[in-house]
């Protein structure tokens, strides 16, 4: 299986358990790896035979900016489900970064990584 990766998709969302996260919002960063067979697209040089990563990027940002959820696990699951709606995408790895998570000690990042497939 081939891989198309999108790294560092940035959006502002209102996800989190705490009221201040819901009210003020914060930055989220999403990385995706889409698993698909790119041979038909490569053989014909036809965008319609692969995944349009520009559209995927817009959809992911819309999810992050959309309906708030408590957990980044839920956010990652919604993103994965949307990616798998694209014809040809058989598998997706989603990493959601929450770099401004409300943690009281110094840290660089909080992430959740999930892998989902059509099977």
Q: What is the pLDDT of residue 89?
A: 98
Please give the positions annotated as active site: 98
Q: What is the pLDDT of residue 64?
A: 98
Q: What is the pLDDT of residue 119?
A: 76
If we measure between CA atoms, which residue out of 21, 29, 103, 116 comes closest to residue 68?
21
What are 34's strand-pairing partners? 4, 92
CB 95 within 8 A of CB 80: no
Q: What is the mean pLDDT of each run of 10 residues along the chain (119 residues)?
A: 98 96 96 98 96 98 98 98 97 98 96 95
Q: What is the pLDDT of residue 103?
A: 95
Q: What is the pLDDT of residue 71?
A: 97
Tell me if the pTM is above 0.85: yes
Helix (H) or strand (E) holding 60: helix 53-65
Q: What is the pLDDT of residue 96?
A: 98
If we measure between CA atoms, which residue out of 3, 84, 13 comes closest to residue 38?
3
Distances in whole angstroms, Cα of residue 111 to Cα of each of 21, 44, 45, 59: 16, 38, 36, 20
Question: Whole-angstrom Cα distance, residue 115 to residue 94?
Answer: 6
């Amino acid at each position: 299986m081939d891989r198309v990766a999108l790294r560092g998709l940035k959006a502002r969302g209102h996800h989190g358990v705490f009221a201040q996260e819901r009210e003020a919002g914060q930055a989220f960063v999403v990385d995706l790896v889409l698993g698909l067979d790119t041979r038909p697209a490569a053989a014909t040089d036809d965008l319609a035979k692969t995944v349009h990563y520009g559209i995927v990027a817009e959809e992911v940002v819309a999810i992050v900016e959309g309906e708030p959820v408590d957990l980044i696990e839920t956010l990652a699951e919604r993103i994965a489900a949307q990616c798998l709606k694209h014809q040809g995408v058989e598998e997706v790895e989603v990493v959601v970064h929450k770099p401004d998570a409300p943690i009281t000690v110094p840290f660089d990042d909080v992430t959740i990584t999930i892998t989902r497939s059509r099977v």
